[in-house]
Structure 1
Amino acid sequence: MSKHVASTNLLAPPLISSPTDSPTHRYWLRAGWVMVASGWSANQFSALLGAYRSDLGLTTTTTTALFAIYVLGMIPGLLLGGPLADRRGRRPVVFFALATSALATCLLMAGPAVSALLWPGRFLTGIGAGALLAAGSAWIKELSTPPHGTAAGPGAAARRSGLFLSAGFASGGLAASLIAQWAPHPMVTAYIPHLILSAFAALCAAHAPESTSARNTVTPSATTTSPEQDNLSSASTFRRLIAPTAPWVFAGPAVAFATLPGLVDSDLKGWETVYAGVITAITPGAGLFVTPFARRLAARHRIATGVSGLFAIAIGLVLAAVAAANTQPVVALASASVLGGGYGLCVAYGLTEVAVLAPPHQLARVTSRFWTLAYLGFIAPYVITLLTKLFTPPSVLLGAATLALVTLGSVAYLGTRAPTAEPACAATTKTAGAH
């Protein structure tokens, strides 16, 4: 049988190992709040970009750079948080990340007094959110399918992470914008709900047990194929089918959050912040709405969800170009909803594929690679801002739509010709049975 490789902590909560630890306990729901906190922390700043420009006098280039530096924090948070969660367990990484995220929010609250603190605040926001995504996604997936139950398959379990994340995205930006519109000291008070949510998420996560996969590895000697062959097959599938789609997961929403409001809000007359908040709610809200559709698409073909998501993002970018060309806030809202639908489909596709391909003892590590590529899409608004110095915004957005269609064609071509890979969890089951 498998052997323990991680250090044992006598004070740690019990592993899921008894028949009473059934899906009815819904431990995944307790762990899910950390994903809500992650999404909230990322998007609360997005809705305030207009306020930072008008109240603090920051330029568009500066605010989009602040938006993008979040990604620079995400990368080490994901790449370090995933392997650390595989070695030490999900819980310690989650609590460290929640504390980091709360500290980052405190720095952002001090930003109106010392604007230089906005930079480390956004960077630490990325680190905290990245570690939460890496450890939290794996934790929810494993708590959804305990050893003595089959509460959810890899696809359904993976989609739960995306649902919690989308809920945080949708509510965080809207709440921040509404507070900023009417509350005193808006760029301070708008961040208070995240501190409350972080404390609540920590309390919920404290009652969720560590998962067995976080502490175990599989002895490879009895597998029908060598570990090197399994790793090569999974790596090839990741590189050919998942990696090209991943940056589009957040490229579309980032354009909706950070680019569109500034292109169409010239006639809103004081309602710019609320409008930005509505967009930050509509975009991930559409991602939540398409989840049942994603499930049906995945049942037809493994790449159908990803291809559909890329097509939706391309259409959304075309609508964004139309909205920018005619300064139409209503068309921009329609674009945001389509981009959000594409985000929901692409994130469901990526997380499902990762959950199927990754062996249990590497789940957080592989998940972190997916999120790292996905969050590169947050750089899109900054790239668009730079390109608009040479081209008009509608032409840049149409160029982005063309790139999305090229990616769609590549994934469709490779996906329809790729052999169906055996899930890593199936290989794990064979190994356990052989022992």
Structure 2
Amino acid sequence: MATLLAVDTRPSGLPQSSRRWWGVAAAMFAIAWGGNEFTPLLVMYKGNGLPATTVDLLLFDYVLGIVPALLIGGPLSDRFGRRPLLRPAPLVGAVGSLLLAVGSTSVPLLSAGRVLCGVALGLAMAVGSSWLKELSQPPRGPELPAGTGARRSAMSLTGGFAVGAGVAGVLAQWAPLPNSSAYLVNVMLCLIAAVWVARVPETSPSQRNSGRLIDDLKVAAVAHRRFRCIALPVALWLFTSAATAYAVLPTLMALKAHGAPIAFSALITVITLGCGFAIQSLARRIDRPNTARAAVVALVSVVCGMVSAAWASGTSAVVLTIVTAVVLGAGYGIGLVAGLQEIERIARPDDLAGLTAVFYSVSYLGFGVPVLLAFLHESFGLGYPQMFAAAAVGAAACSALVVRNYRA
């Protein structure tokens, strides 16, 4: 992860083509950092007097920026090129973090900051993922194993999510200016990434006489059987798993955090995403082009993680919370690589970004889970163990669908 933001110290003889992707990865890393630094601070905002439902809605607010940016940014980058869409994204993320830094007691400013961070993240996911793929294969890059672009994309995003959350939690718990210091760090990182990504060459030149934009927004590959029956069932559980592990459980365990609830929330976030990051290298070995093995493994991990979450929430056991974070993080990491590599096999060059956008849009609906669970708990008295058990059943059903379509 650190190499994404490090100064280039490689020998000058290294071919420039092998380093082009670093700037895109750095932008994705910095933007993902900004997108997830809010998560471990949920406990802080609730402790500062904001209603729990309001705070959970603020977590979901950035999905309002992510989904439109994904669905529109991907096709626009296929039409106008990757550079015009991704170059401004770190600057948008910097503005979003700045609003979060100055608006710690203002719900409208916090909401606006979250939406802008979402816009930046949506562009990074749809456009950055496609750009990395194109920079990781001939003629723009050296000959590399299949799926290299997808793995670089997944690791850049997950690394940013994990490091951003960890640093934010530590700064908010113990540093001066706890409401703003984490966000100001991200502003600086985004500005550095904006300069770096501006040096990356275009891989998808602007298309002349490209027809109507509305036609570009139609992604025909969405109807592909492998996308509907493999990639989408996995997408549904990616951020549902992540949100369960580091947005719901730490709040339930706040009284068990020994006086440092923000740091504990950050720790759970780092464990979840750190495991997701680390296992992505193994996911390459699990994945097989003509099967759905990686997707099945991911969903089985989600089922186990939801069962563990039900147990942890019922017993308020800190150790079980950590175990749950590990298992759900593994499901997230394997599922992310499985979905992106499936998309690489399905998509044509002209709809790669669009199909990636649909995949991520579906996955980010999972950040509505904390709000939904809080609503069901407060309005109908449903217990968290029962709701997590129901989620395990839902993940098992998706796993059965994937098994039915196991062979390509």
How does the TM-score come out when normalised to structure 2? 0.89
Between the aligned partners of 1:283 and 1:150, the Cα distance in structure 2 is 33
Q: 1:381 to 1:233 in 2, by over 3 A?
A: closer
Between the aligned partners of 2:105 and 2:149, the Cα distance in structure 1 is 43
Per the alignment, residue 299 of structure 2 pairs with: 310
State the 1:265 CA deviation: 2.1
Per the alignment, residue 112 of structure 1 pairs with: 104
1:343 aligned onto 2:342: no
Paired amino acid for 2:151? R
1:400 aligned onto 2:391: yes
Paired amino acid for 2:393? T
Between the aligned partners of 1:136 and 1:98, the Cα distance in structure 2 is 11
1:333 aligned onto 2:325: no
1:286 aligned onto 2:279: no
Among 351, 361, 367, which residue is 1:362 paired with? 351
State the 1:260 CA deviation: 0.4
State the 1:23 CA deviation: 6.9
For residue 245 of structure 1, give the secondary structure of its aligned residue in structure 2: helix
For residue 143 of structure 2, give the secondary structure of its aligned residue in structure 1: coil
Provide Cα deviations, 1:367-409, integer angstroms capped at 9, x if missing partner.
1111111111111111111222321111101111111111000
State the 1:200 CA deviation: 1.7
State the 1:231 CA deviation: 4.7
Identity of aligned residues (%): 36
State the 1:154 CA deviation: 3.9
**1:152-231 alignment, distance < 5 Å:** 152-211=144-203, 213-215=204-206, 231=220
Between the aligned partners of 1:98 and 1:198, the Cα distance in structure 2 is 5
State the 1:75 CA deviation: 0.9
For residue 158 of structure 1, give the secondary structure of its aligned residue in structure 2: helix
Per the alignment, residue 6 of structure 1 pairs with: none
Between the aligned partners of 2:289 and 2:75, the Cα distance in structure 1 is 33
Per the alignment, residue 214 of structure 2 pairs with: none
Q: Which structure: larger Rg?
A: 1
**1:7-406 alignment, distance < 5 Å:** 25-55=18-48, 57-147=49-139, 150-211=142-203, 213-215=204-206, 231=220, 235-299=224-288, 301-389=290-378, 390=380, 391-406=382-397
Between the aligned partners of 1:236 and 1:318, the Cα distance in structure 2 is 30
Q: 1:149 to 1:197 in 2, by over 3 A?
A: closer
Between the aligned partners of 1:102 and 1:309, the Cα distance in structure 2 is 33
Provide Cα deviations, 1:18-52, integer angstroms capped at 9, x if missing partner.
xx995753211221011112221121000100110
Q: 1:144 to 1:311 in 2, by over 3 A?
A: same
Cα root mean square deviation, aligned: 2.1
For residue 87 of structure 2, give the secondary structure of its aligned residue in structure 1: helix
Q: 1:33 to 1:302 in 2, by over 3 A?
A: farther
Between the aligned partners of 2:122 and 2:265, the Cα distance in structure 1 is 24
State the 1:414 CA deviation: 2.1
Among 369, 382, 403, which residue is 1:412 paired with? 403
Deviating more after overlay: 105-114 vs 230-239: 230-239
State whether residues 283 and 340 of structure 1, in contact with CA within 8 Å, keep that contact through their aligned partners in structure 2. Answer: yes
Provide Cα deviations, 1:318-361, integer angstroms capped at 9, x if missing partner.
11111111111221011011111000011001110111111112
State whether residues 28 and 208 of structure 1, in contact with CA within 8 Å, keep that contact through their aligned partners in structure 2. Answer: yes
State the 1:300 CA deviation: 7.3
Deviating more after overlay: 286-295 vs 131-140: 286-295
How does the TM-score come out when normalised to structure 1? 0.84
Provide Cα deviations, 1:130-171, integer angstroms capped at 9, x if missing partner.
011111000111001131654324412211100001100110
State whether residues 18 and 142 of structure 2, in contact with CA within 8 Å, keep that contact through their aligned partners in structure 1. Answer: no
Between the aligned partners of 1:158 and 1:114, the Cα distance in structure 2 is 38
Between the aligned partners of 1:236 and 1:316, the Cα distance in structure 2 is 27
Q: 1:216 to 1:21 in 2, by over 3 A?
A: farther
Instruction: Give 5+ residue unaligned stretches, structure 1.
Output: 1-19, 220-229, 421-435
Per the alignment, residue 425 of structure 1 pairs with: none
Q: 1:214 to 1:309 in 2, by over 3 A?
A: farther
State the 1:59 CA deviation: 1.5
State whether residues 292 and 405 of structure 2, in contact with CA within 8 Å, keep that contact through their aligned partners in structure 1. Answer: no
Paired amino acid for 1:254? A
Between the aligned partners of 2:290 and 2:385, the Cα distance in structure 1 is 34
Between the aligned partners of 1:148 and 1:402, the Cα distance in structure 2 is 44
For residue 360 of structure 1, give the secondary structure of its aligned residue in structure 2: coil
Between the aligned partners of 1:28 and 1:278, the Cα distance in structure 2 is 30
